[in-house]
A and B are shown apart, each in its own frame.
Chain A
Amino acid sequence: MSGSGGHDTTIRGWAVDPGTGHEGAAVLEVRDGVLERLVWLSGADAEGLTPGAALILPGLIDLHAHFREPGNEDAETVATGLAAAAHGGFTTVALMPNTTPALDEPSVLGRVLAAAGASGSPVRVLAHGAVTTGRKGETLSAMGELADAGVVGFSDDGAPVRSATVLRNALAYAGALGIPIVDHPEDLSLTEGAEASEGYVATVLGLKGWPAAGEAGSVARSLAVLADVVRDVPGARLHLTHVSTASSLEHVRAAKAAGLPVTCDITPHHLALADEWIAGARRWAWEALDGDGRARDPWADGALVARPYDTSLRVNPPLRSAQDAAACRAALRDGTADAIATDHAPHTEVDKHVEFGWAANGISGIETALSVVLAAVAAGELPLATAVALLTTGPARVLGARGGTAPGLRAGEPADLVVVDASGAWTPSAASLVSKGKNTPLLGRVLPGVVRLVLAGGRLAYAGD
Chain B
Amino acid sequence: MSAGSERPEGAIEAPAAAPAHWAHRHLLDVDALTRPDIELVMRTADEMHDVLERPIPKVPALRGLGVTILFYEASTRTRVSFEVAAKNLSADVVNIAAASSSVSKGESLVDTVRTVEALGADMLVIRHSVSGAPYLAAEIFSGSVLNGGDGWHAHPSQALLDLYTLRSRLPGGLLEGRKVVILGDVLHSRVARSNVWTLTAMGADLWICGPSTLLRGFEAWAARGAAGRRFTVTSDAGAALQDADAVMALRIQKERMASGLLPSLREYAARYGLTNERLRAARPDAIVMHPGPMNEGVEIAADVAAGPRSMVTDQVHNGVAVRMALLYLLAGTRRTEAGA
Across the two chains, which residue of chain B brings its CB closest to A300? B227
**A355 near B220: Cβ-Cβ < 8 Å:** no
B228: which of A300, A302, A355 is its contact (CB, 8 Å)? A300
Binary contact track A195-223/B, C-beta < 8 Å → 1, others 0: 10011101111111100000000000000
CB contacts under 8 Å to A, within B129-144, are: 130-133, 135-136, 138-139
A interface residues, Cβ below 8 angstroms from B: 195, 198-200, 202-209, 279-280, 297, 299-300, 302, 304-305, 307-309, 353-358
A357: which of B7, B131, B190, B228 is its contact (CB, 8 Å)? B131
Cα separation A304 to B139 with both chains bound (whole Å): 17
B interface residues, Cβ below 8 angstroms from A: 1-2, 7, 9-10, 12, 31, 102, 108-110, 128, 130-133, 135-136, 138-139, 150-154, 190, 193, 216-218, 220-221, 223-228
**A355 near B217: Cβ-Cβ < 8 Å:** no
**A355 near B7: Cβ-Cβ < 8 Å:** no
**A279 near B1: Cβ-Cβ < 8 Å:** yes
Given A202-B217, A304-B7, residue A357 in contact with residue B102 (CB < 8 A): yes
**A204 near B7: Cβ-Cβ < 8 Å:** no
A235, chain B: closest CB distance, angstroms:
41
Across the two chains, which residue of chain A brings its CB closest to B155? A206
**A358 near B110: Cβ-Cβ < 8 Å:** no
Given A204-B226, A302-B10, A355-B109, residue A280 in contact with residue B131 (CB < 8 A): no
**B131 near A195: Cβ-Cβ < 8 Å:** yes
Hey, which chain A residues are within 8 Å of B132, CB to CB?
205-207, 308-309, 355-357
Cα separation A358 to B216 with both chains bound (whole Å): 22
Hey, which chain B residues are within 8 Å of A209, CB to CB?
216-217
Cα separation A309 to B128 with both chains bound (whole Å): 14
Hey, which chain B residues are within 8 Å of A195, CB to CB?
131
Across the two chains, which residue of chain B brings its CB closest to A196? B131
Cα separation A208 to B187 with both chains bound (whole Å): 9
Across the two chains, which residue of chain A brings its CB closest to B136? A355
Name, among B130, B153, B218, the residue most crowded by chain A CB atoms within 10 Å (CB to CB): B130
A283, chain B: closest CB distance, angstroms:
14
Hey, which chain A residues are within 8 Å of B31, CB to CB?
204, 299
Given A302-B9, A309-B131, residue A200 in contact with residue B220 (CB < 8 A): yes
Given A209-B217, A302-B10, residue A307 in contact with residue B130 (CB < 8 A): no
Name, among B12, B132, B152, B226, the residue most crowded by chain A CB atoms within 10 Å (CB to CB): B132
**A206 near B154: Cβ-Cβ < 8 Å:** yes
Across the two chains, which residue of chain A brings its CB closest to B137? A355
Hey, which chain B residues are within 8 Å of A207, CB to CB?
131-132, 151-153
A358: which of B10, B102, B217, B218 is its contact (CB, 8 Å)? B102
Cα separation A347 to B108 with both chains bound (whole Å): 17
Cα separation A180 to B221 with both chains bound (whole Å): 41
Given A308-B1, A354-B110, residue A204 in contact with residue B131 (CB < 8 A): no
Name, among A202, A355, A358, the residue most crowded by chain B CB atoms within 10 Å (CB to CB): A355
Cα separation A297 to B226 with both chains bound (whole Å): 7
Cα separation A198 to B220 with both chains bound (whole Å): 10
Hey, which chain B residues are within 8 Å of A198, CB to CB?
216-217
B153: which of A205, A304, A354 is its contact (CB, 8 Å)? A205
**A200 near B224: Cβ-Cβ < 8 Å:** yes
B215, chain A: closest CB distance, angstroms:
10
Q: Which 8 A-B pairs have the closest CB atoms?
A: A206-B153, A309-B132, A203-B217, A206-B152, A355-B130, A206-B131, A358-B102, A302-B9
**B226 near A300: Cβ-Cβ < 8 Å:** yes
Can you name 29 A-B residue pairings with CB atoms under 8 Å?
A: A195-B131, A198-B216, A198-B217, A199-B220, A200-B220, A203-B220, A203-B221, A204-B221, A205-B153, A206-B150, A206-B153, A206-B193, A209-B217, A280-B1, A280-B2, A300-B226, A307-B1, A307-B135, A308-B1, A308-B132, A309-B131, A353-B108, A354-B110, A355-B128, A355-B132, A356-B132, A356-B133, A357-B130, A357-B131
Cα separation A309 to B139 with both chains bound (whole Å): 11
B24, chain A: closest CB distance, angstroms:
14
Beyond A207-B153, A355-B128, 13 extra complex contacts between A and B, CB < 8 Å: A200-B217, A204-B31, A205-B153, A206-B150, A206-B154, A207-B152, A279-B1, A304-B1, A308-B135, A354-B108, A354-B110, A356-B133, A357-B132
Name, among A205, A279, A305, the residue most crowded by chain B CB atoms within 10 Å (CB to CB): A205
Across the two chains, which residue of chain B brings its CB closest to A304? B7
Hey, which chain A residues are within 8 Å of B133, CB to CB?
355-356
**A200 near B221: Cβ-Cβ < 8 Å:** yes
Cα separation A297 to B10 with both chains bound (whole Å): 12
Hey, which chain B residues are within 8 Å of A357, CB to CB?
102, 130-132, 151
Hey, which chain B residues are within 8 Å of A300, CB to CB?
12, 226-228
Hey, which chain B residues are within 8 Å of A299, CB to CB?
12, 31, 226-227
Cα separation A309 to B154 with both chains bound (whole Å): 13
Across the two chains, which residue of chain A brings its CB closest to B223? A200
Hey, which chain B residues are within 8 Å of A297, CB to CB?
224-227
Cα separation A204 to B10 with both chains bound (whole Å): 17
B102, chain A: closest CB distance, angstroms:
4
Hey, which chain A residues are within 8 Å of B2, CB to CB?
280, 304, 307
